[in-house]
Structure 1
Amino acid sequence: MAIPHGKVFFGNSIVDAQDATLGVATSAVLYGLSVYTVFPVQVSAEGRTAFRLSDHYQRLVESCKIIGIDTFATQWTFERFVEVVREVVAANAPDREVYARATVHVDESIPGTRVRGLSTTVSIFLYDAVPIVPQDGMRLKTSVWRRIPDNAIPSRAKVNGAYVNSVLAKQDAIDSGFDDCIFLDINGHVCELSAANIFLVRGGVLITPDVTSDILDGINRRTILTLAREEGITVQERTVDLTELYIADEVFVCGTSAGVAPVHEIDGRAVGERRTGATTSTLHKRHQAALTGDEVHGWVTVL
């Protein structure tokens, strides 16, 4: 559960977490009309760092643009975003890795089902970096719920209200005794998990659904693709059939809150030898190094 640490940026200042509240009649509450991003903040003897902060800021900008929120980009520069993140981290002084969640809320009261020209409030808070999926081999179930298509609610925009789709799918998986779900699109092709991107390895080739497969164009997904190519691994971004997962040598997922985590079973079928494969292990190690700033890609911002 994402329990905020004590100090939260809300509106225009740092406040106590219990004071960072939205009215019950705001669009954010009535319609789920907010967009957000989550990124890790690492803590080491050298200080605190945030991972791919410019990409997370850009995702907020793009999510707002897709949905029609027209105030964030004009009021928030990247420089302001970084400075506020620094203020939140300094106010909470975490001594271990945390996640930071930044959200743009439409806080206009009872404006009806529209979005342009409405006021917004930005919140940023920290919470403990607890993975949302098992890290030692998970069991997945194909969801009975289909992924919302791009022409209904765009997956590449992280819209709070859209996550009802993920809640339905993951709860069904949990109720059925699994760790998480696999979403299929309306044509039966593989999309992603409830809140993580998915990869498979077959014959030494790394395969993942492409960005037109109703997936979130995940920042960690992009990271894995970059690292895999640097390792000389052949990469395919394309339409993926469910049965390809059944016969894969390896399957793993990635995301800020998922890390790089292996999948050992899908719909009662063993993945490979029910153990973490070599490609998954390699990319997990490279990803961890990238998060902590050991990789030289310009991905880490010192806070």
Structure 2
Amino acid sequence: MATPHDKMFFGDSIIDSREATLGVATSAVLYGLSVYTVFPVHVSGTSRTAFRLRDHYQRLLESCKIIGIDSFAPQWTFDRFVSVVREVVAANDPQSEVYVRATVHVDESIPGTRVRGLSTTMSIFLYDAVPIVPQDGMRLKTSVWRRIPDNAIPSRAKVNGAYVNSVLAKQDAIDSGFDDCIFLDINGHVCELSAANIFLVRGGVLITPDVTSDILDGINRRTILTLAREEGIEVHERTVDLTELYIADEVFVSGTSAGVAPVHQIDGRTIGDSPALGPVASTLRKRHQAALTSVESHDWVTVL
């Protein structure tokens, strides 16, 4: 389990992580009414770079807009967001790669089940970059829990309370002896893992559920699709059936905390020839790792 690094931003200043608290009567605690994003910071000597920082800021804006949180955007410009991220990273002086979690909490006390006009506070903290799934071949189980549909709690908004759905599904998979789960939507189509997007390869074609399949429109997902097209790989974003995964040449996942990681087995069925990355996933992992650290790639990297 990861623990926050010593210093974090909370409210309006850098404080000791142990001093950052939210009241038990706030909407963030009572209703899970917070939205967040997570991004990696790469460390090389004295150099520190953040990946797709503007996209992560935009994700916060969009999540707030979808849910109805209206006090974040007026208070937080992109320049302020970058400045505070720099302060937090400098205060902790990490010596290896870390993840940064930025969360907008609705901290109004006992306002009832509403959101507009309520006060918010921001927290930003670092923790060690430990992958949440095996990197050398994972075993997945189709979840007994269905993915929450967009017309209930939208997956494209990263809402803290909505992750109860992911907790139920992943814990069931762990209890059953698997590494993670595969969510299906209410119609039985493939969505994603508990906290990572999923891809399959058949006949050299890269296939992934489209953004109307109750998935998180992942920033790393978009990165993989861009890199695949640059490599001349044919890409299809569409509805995916579970049985397509069973007969795929390759299955892999992507996400900030997942990286690009292969799937070896789904519901007891072996995928491909070995637990190692297949040729398409291997190519995309190399490109993805380079993109995380290169200031020359697509203007995706911000020097901190």
Give the shorter-chain TM-score range.
over 0.9
Partner of 2:298 in structure 1? 297
Name the amino acid aligned to 2:161.
G
Shift of 1:45: 2.6
- 1:202 has 2:184 as partner: no
Partner of 1:245 in structure 2? 245
Q: More displaced, 143-152 or 37-46?
A: 37-46
Partner of 1:153 in structure 2? 153
The whole-number CA distance in structure 1 between the counterparts of 2:2 and 2:300 is 25
Partner of 1:183 in structure 2? 183
Q: Note closer, same or farther for the CA distance 1:203–1:295 as it changes in structure 2 (3 Å cut).
A: farther
State the 4+ residue runs in structure 1 displaced beyond 2 angstroms: none
Name the amino acid aligned to 1:189.
H
- 1:173 has 2:173 as partner: yes
Give a deviation string over 1:147-184, Cα, whole Å, max 9, x none. Answer: 00000000000000000000000000000000000000
Shift of 1:294: 5.9
Partner of 2:79 in structure 1? 79
**Equivalent position SS for 1:87:** helix
Partner of 2:144 in structure 1? 144
The whole-number CA distance in structure 2 between the counterparts of 1:36 and 1:190 is 24
Partner of 2:279 in structure 1? 278
What is the TM-score of this pair, normalised by structure 2?
0.99
> Share of identical aligned residues, percent?
86
Partner of 1:43 in structure 2? 43
The whole-number CA distance in structure 2 between the counterparts of 1:235 and 1:295 is 24
The whole-number CA distance in structure 1 between the counterparts of 2:152 and 2:172 is 22
Kept in 2: contact 1:265–1:274 (CA 8 A): no
Give a deviation string over 1:96-131, Cα, whole Å, max 9, x none. Answer: 000000000000000000000000000000000000
Q: More displaced, 230-239 or 286-295?
A: 286-295
Name the amino acid aligned to 2:217.
D
**Equivalent position SS for 1:280:** helix
Shift of 1:295: 5.0
Partner of 2:135 in structure 1? 135
**Equivalent position SS for 1:208:** strand
**Gap regions ≥5 residues in structure 2:** none
Give the root-mean-square deviation of aligned CA atoms.
0.7
Q: Note closer, same or farther for the CA distance 1:226–1:295 as it changes in structure 2 (3 Å cut).
A: farther
Shift of 1:293: 1.2
Give a deviation string over 1:19-38, Cα, whole Å, max 9, x none. Answer: 11100000000000000000
**Equivalent position SS for 1:194:** coil
**Equivalent position SS for 2:223:** helix
**Equivalent position SS for 1:163:** helix
Partner of 1:288 in structure 2? 289
Q: Note closer, same or farther for the CA distance 1:158–1:130 as it changes in structure 2 (3 Å cut).
A: same
- 1:217 has 2:217 as partner: yes
Partner of 1:102 in structure 2? 102
